[in-house]
Amino acid sequence: MNVPFLDLKSQYLRLKPEIDAVFADIFEHSAFICGKYVNLFEKEFAVALGAKRFVATSSGTDAVHLMLWAAGIGPGDEVVVPVNTFIATAEGVSLCGATPVFVDNDPVSFNIDIGRVEEKITPRTRAVFPVHLYGQPMNMDEIDDIASRHGLMVFEDACQAQSARFRGKAVGTFGTAAAFSFFPGKNLGAYGEAGGISTNDEGLYQKMLRMRGHGSVERYVHDIVGHNYRMEEIQAAVLLVKLKYLDGWNARRREIADLYRSLLADLKEVICPVESADAYHIYHLFVIQVSAEKRDKLKGFLQERNIATGLHYPIPMHLQKAYAHLGYKKGDFPVAEKQANEILSLPMCPEMKDEQVEYVSANIRRYFHG
């Protein structure tokens, strides 16, 4: 049996008639950037989230940068971010000329340790920027409580969490604004780079809309300095086709997560992900923990049996060369450092068959117990 990490090809084959039709329409009309499909996707995704507004962008990284930039994060500011994330969260802060201030992981959820956020707040702190990592929603009530006591903005990195919910409300609707990625491998993925920003703040929305297209509403008239962070029509068209399947796909991911958990339940060598209280986790990734000595060997063992796995992420932000200038050292974030050596992301996508989940689980069992 072969178990890929995710299976975009078979997803395309199932959607082929719909995708081919919208592509034909785009090529026929030959309008390629920020046209009718982008407009429609912005509206439909905002409705799906329950957000007032959505600005489509060229990637999740651009979404992170644009929302922080438009909200006024700048040189001298500090933004509190988790040390365990994809680098784009911290990069967005750096691109604004501000400083990311890292916080260790919660040992169970893999998300930022809320109990350690307050000790990082200084007079320069402007915002808290949690990540709903792997599709696991943060407790946004606790984040909001800290932010309102200290007068901080809240941004969400929802790049891995399209339609994940906390207390029944979609992530991306809690803070000042939230960034989404539609990178092809995400739960809602485009056929290239794509992202976007949700917000309930009309003023910020108008500013982001302008800054996404060189600070202009009228062609060649530029009111403010912006960038080119526009979404392509083909990406919006793919996302529109896929959006109606997202809830079903997320439900299937949750079924697969439950199946993994039940098949691995009695293996004391394996810790399966735990869904936080009041969270609707959408399992963008299913990340298990095993001992650091066994992790790479298990990965190799599974690879030999045609099972692809991943590491998300092998090096926490404070140990990346890109952030050496911030002066952190090994040992500063013990939970994230330990987890980085113990985590292993198992294959996860809605196209997975139960037999594939059983094959992966049986081989993990075989590795530990022969």
Ligand X SMILES: Cc1ncc(COP(=O)(O)O)c(C=O)c1O
* Nearest partner of 79 among 91, 93, 65, 89, judged by Cα: 93
Whole-number minimum distance, CB 147 to ligand X, in Å?
19
Nearer to ligand X, 81 or 204 (CB): 81
Q: List binders of ligand X among 233-252 (CB under 6 A).
A: none
Site for ligand X in 176-215 (CB under 6 A): 181, 183, 193, 195
Q: Which is nearer to ligand X, 134 or 249 (CB)?
A: 134
Binding to ligand X by CB under 6 A, coded x per residue (else -) over 121-140, reads ----------x---------
> Which residue reads 């997803």 in tokens?
11
Please report, in angstroms and rounded to a whole number, the separation of the first and last CA atoms in the chain: 19
Gyration radius of the chain over CA positions? 21
User: Is 162 an interacting residue with respect to ligand X (CB under 6 A)?
Assistant: no
Minimum Å gap between C-beta 159 and ligand X is: 3
Residues in 25-64 that interact with ligand X by CB under 6 A: 59-61, 64
Nearer to ligand X, 59 or 187 (CB): 59
* Residue closer to ligand X, measured from CB, 7 or 156: 156
Residue number with CB closer to ligand X (88 or 317): 88
Kindly indicate which of the ranges 46-54, 153-161, 205-213, 358-366 contains the residues binding ligand X, using the contact rule CB under 6 A. Answer: 153-161
The SS3 assignment for 112 reads strand
Q: How far is the CB of 56 from ligand X (least distance, A)?
A: 12
Token digits for 157? 């990195």
- Residue ranges in 271-310 that form contacts with ligand X under rule CB under 6 A: none
DSSP code, position 362: H
Q: What's the min distance (Å) between Cβ of 355 and ligand X?
A: 29
Q: Please tell me what DSSP assigns to residue 321.
A: G
Shortest Å, Cβ 206 to ligand X: 23
Is the CB of 60 or the CB of 316 nearer to ligand X? 60
89 binds ligand X (CB under 6 A): yes
The answer to whether residue 343 forms part of the interface with ligand X (CB under 6 A) is no
Q: Which stretch binds ligand X (CB under 6 A): 86-94, 162-170, 237-245, 291-299?
A: 86-94
Judged by CB under 6 A, the chain residues 256 through 275 that form the site for ligand X are none
Chain-centroid distance of CA 29 in Å reads 33
For residue 89, the minimal CB distance to ligand X (Å) is 5
Q: 180 with 158: CB under 8 angstroms?
A: yes
Amino acid, res. 298: L
Rounded Cα distance, 221 and 224, in Å: 9
Please state whether 154 falls in left (phi above 0), alpha (psi between -120 and 50) or beta.
beta
Is the Cβ–Cβ distance between 134 and 162 less than 8 Å?
no
CB of 205 to ligand X, least distance (A): 20
Q: Site for ligand X (CB under 6 A): which residue of 160, 162, 173, 235?
A: 160
Round to whole Å and give the CA distance between 198 and 50: 9
Cis? peptide before 313, omega within 30° of 0: yes
In sequence order, what are the residues at sequence separation of 6 or more whose Cβ sits closer than 8 angstroms to the Cβ of residue 111? 82, 105, 130, 131, 132, 133, 136, 138, 276
Q: Distance between CA 102 and CA 79 in Å, rounded?
A: 9
Q: Which is nearer to ligand X, 206 or 320 (CB)?
A: 320
- By beta carbon distance, the residue nearest ligand X is 60
Q: Is 333 in the site for ligand X (CB under 6 A)?
A: no
With CA atoms as reference, report the closest residue to 38 among 233, 241, 238: 233
Contact positions toward ligand X, by CB under 6 A? Answer: 59-61, 64, 85-86, 88-89, 131, 157, 159-160, 181, 183, 193, 195
